[in-house]
Amino acid sequence: MGKTASNEQKKLRATAFNSLGVGIALAGIYVPMLGFYLGGLKVFDPLSMLVAGLAAIIAFFFHRAGIGAIADLED
């Protein structure tokens, strides 16, 4: 496999990791915050805070995996 094809595979892998991170962040953090802001959620219970915290941590690690996937791109 050539250098260009290898770089494209690395970019696609990084895009997939970042997309997963954004999806997890949206589902676990921003949607509950929006529900609280709009009045659908009255109080943040401990379970929702735990889910939001875990989603933030998992999204961070997916983002770091995406950065690591493009770190060794060849010129």
Domain ranges of the chain: 3-70
pLDDT tens figures, 55-64? 999 999 999 9
pLDDT tens figures, 6-36? 899 999 999 999 999 999 988 888 887 887 7
pTM: 0.79
Give CA separation, 5 vs 14, 31, 33, 68, 72, in Å: 14, 37, 41, 18, 14
Q: What are the tokens at 5?
A: 């094809």
